[in-house]
Amino acid sequence: MPATDCVTEAAGPLPRAERQAAVLRGAAQAFARTGYAATSMEDIAAASGITKLIVYRHFDSKEDLYRAVLQRVFDQLAEAFVVGIADPSDDAVGARALLAAARYDPGGFRLLWRHAAREPQFAAYASELREHAVSASRALLADWVAPDLAEWAAQTCVGYLVEAVLNWLEYGDAARDAEFVELATGALRSGISAWSATPSVL
């Protein structure tokens, strides 16, 4: 796609927020494809369909851009989770929130959960964002899992759901997303039920 100034034939220049979102989506794809070090601002501009000048109008550096991609995905995840947690009887909130974030920005979701931890500059940041998800998992499991299994269970639930969503992006059908949420939640529900009935083995 040729680099442009984000101009559409009918509507003219895109609003700033939409242009920035396009940069973030293109950056996520470029970073996931070649890694942080090997990705240039030119690559990001090309993936975003704009000029490098426009990229720099929104982000001062490649590092700022990478962090912004991660934060955008996490913010979307947090927003979806907060909406879902309003119904305490909804035990599908984790799967639904993660899938919503993944559908909102597939490239950014993959970058956050699959690639960032391997980048020296961003491993600690990615770990910090993951810890927020694990903290929510701890709170949800507090009444269901024995204290000596609680940390293992919280980490396992997040790891399972993240991998389930990543694999659904690769092999699932978007038209069956609701079915995925039910299947993933059912598997998790069975696991938690087994853990709550299992004597301590750790």
Residue ranges of the domains in the chain? 1-59, 69-197
In CATH terms, the fold of domain 1-59 is Arc Repressor Mutant, subunit A (1.10.10)
- CA distances to 4, 56, 100, 184 from 18, rounded to whole Å, are 14, 15, 19, 33
Rounded to an integer, the average pLDDT of 197-201 is 56
Q: pLDDT of 72-107, one tens digit each? A: 998 988 888 777 666 667 788 889 989 999 998 999
Q: What is the DSSP string of 49-113?
A: TB-HHHHHHH-SSHHHHHHHHHHHHHHHHHHHHHHHHTSTT-TTHHHHHHHHHHHH-HHHHHIII
CA nearest neighbour of 99 among 76, 83, 115: 76
Q: Does residue 14 surpass a pLDDT of 70?
A: no
Residue-averaged pLDDT of the chain: 86
**3-class secondary structure for 113-133?**
HHHHHHCCCCHHHHHHHHHHH
Instruction: Tell me what pLDDT residue 78 has.
Output: 86
**How far from 60 is each of 45, 76, 137, CA to CA, in Å?**
14, 23, 35
For 62, list phi and psi in degrees, rounded to 5.
Answer: -65, -40
Q: Calculate mean pLDDT across residues 134-162.
A: 91
Query: Averaged over 11-32, what is the pLDDT?
Result: 81
- Give residue 199's pLDDT band: very low, low, confident or very high (50, 70, 90): low
Neighbours of 149 (CB within 10 A): 19
- How sure is the predictor about 201, in pLDDT bands with cuts at 50, 70 and 90? very low
The whole-number average pLDDT for the span 38-63 is 92
Compute how many other C-beta atoms are within 10 angstroms of the C-beta atom of residue 92: 18
CA distances in angstroms from 84 to 28, 32, 149, 197, listed in the order given: 26, 29, 25, 27
pLDDT exceeds cutoff 70 at 6: no
Which residue type sits at 7? V
Q: Do 112 and 70 touch, CB atoms closer than 8 A?
A: yes
